[in-house]
Amino acid sequence: MDNTRFFDQLQQGCQTLGVSVGEDVPAKLLRLMSELIKWNAKVNLTAITEPEEVLEKHFLDSLAVLPEVEGASSLLDLGAGAGFPGLPLKLARPAMAVTLVDAVGKKVGFLKAAIAVLGMKEARGLHARAEGQPESEGIPRAELLIARAFMDLPDWLNLAPAYVQPGGRVVAMLGKAQPDTELHARAGERGLRLVSARQYRLPFSRAERQVAVFSKV
């Protein structure tokens, strides 16, 4: 994938998803992809390595939830893996402080390297295992907590509230959509309230996605 095609596909994908990024973001995402592919040749970070798939299934899939994170001053990405959705969201909204947490040291090594290469301020990778005790784990609470395919939704909703600041929200990035009745029930069982649920498709593969937002009751 040459640079022109990357920029064109990114622009087209953002338009399809109804999101926008600054003029400097495409070049930074291209640099991030280069770092990801370089590291992945030595360290197994992600099974998605083809540039077209990285663009859609990592970058655009992350940027798709910009409407749900707009206005947040701090974001905590639990189970960040190779940095998705946290790194693209930080590039798109640089004023937002972002902490990316993963239990796998080699992935955190990549996160730290990517943050340094891209000159991200108020962003950090943290090697920790989230088990519901943020103080002892050294994981900071955030205004917005997010995860993509980290664990099944019921387990995520059990774990998540411990990491959210008062008045904050929990964002779950899901695959196939779940009915609102199911989301309401799952939330209510755990002292949470469903704020919103939105279905969409990725722009090129048309893969189904859903993003749900929860708050403490």
Binding-site residues from annotation for S-adenosyl-L-methionine: 79, 84, 130-131, 148
User: What CA–CA distance (Å, rounded) separates 103 from 41?
Assistant: 21
Residues annotated in a binding site: 79, 84, 130-131, 148
Taking Cα atoms as reference points, which of 217, 216, 213 lies closest to residue 170?
Answer: 213
State how far the alpha carbon of 69 is from the alpha carbons of 72, 76, 77, 108, in Å.
Answer: 6, 11, 12, 23
| DSSP-assigned beta bridge partners for residue 196 | 213
Taking Cα atoms as reference points, which of 138, 152, 153, 11 lies closest to residue 76?
Answer: 138
